[in-house]
Amino acid sequence: MNKGNKYGTHRVLEPKGTLPQPAQKLDNTMSIYDNELLIDVKTLNIDSASFTQLKSVCNSDVTKMEAMILSIVNKRGKMQNPVTGSGGMLIGIVKKIGPNFPDKNLKIGDTIATLVSLSLTPLKINKIHTINLSNDQVDVDAQAILFASGLYAILPTDIPEKLALAALDVAGAPAQVDRLVKKDDTVCIIGGGGKSGILCCYQAMEKVGPNGKVIVVEYSVENAQRIKELKLATHVIIADATNVMEVYSKVTEICGEEGCDVVINNVNIENTEMTSILITKDRGCVYFFSMATSFTKAALGAEGVGKDIDMIVGNGYAFGHADLTLDIIRKSKGIRNLFEKLYV
Q: What is the rounded distance in angstroms from the CA atom of residue 105 to the CA atom of residue 312?
A: 34
Regarding beta strands 137-146 and 37-46, do their DSSP bridges make them parallel or antiparallel, or are they unpaired? Answer: antiparallel
pLDDT above 90 as % of the chain: 92
pLDDT band at 316 (very low <50, low <70, confident <90, very high): confident
- In angstroms, the first-to-last Cα distance of the chain is 39
The strand pairing partners of 288, in sequence order, are 265, 313
- Its pTM stands at 0.87
Q: Are residues 15 and 79 in the same domain?
A: yes
Stronger pLDDT, 290 or 147, i.e. the higher one: 147
Indicate if 100 and 143 belong to the same structural domain.
Answer: yes
pLDDT confidence band for 292 (50 / 70 / 90): confident
Asked if 135 and 179 sit in the same domain, the reply is: no
Question: Alpha helices, DSSP H only, in the chain?
Answer: 48-57, 62-76, 161-169, 172-180, 195-208, 221-230, 244-255, 273-278, 295-304, 321-331, 333-343
Q: Among 107, 123, 155, which residue terminates a domain?
A: 155
Mean pLDDT of 259-272: 94
Instruction: Categorize the per-residue pLDDT at 136 as very low, low, confident or very high, splitting at 50, 70 and 90.
Output: very high
CA dist list (Å): 71 to 23, 79, 115, 157: 17, 9, 24, 35
**pLDDT at 237 > cutoff 90:** yes
Contact between 314 and 290 under an 8 Å Cβ cutoff? The reply is yes
Domain ends where: 123, 155, 187? 155
Q: What is the mean pLDDT of residues 194-220?
A: 97
Of 189, 186, 162, 193, residue with least CA distance to 176: 189
Of 186, 189, 183, the closest CA to residue 207 belongs to 183
Residue 4 maps to a domain: no
Are residue 259 and residue 138 in the same domain, yes or no?
no
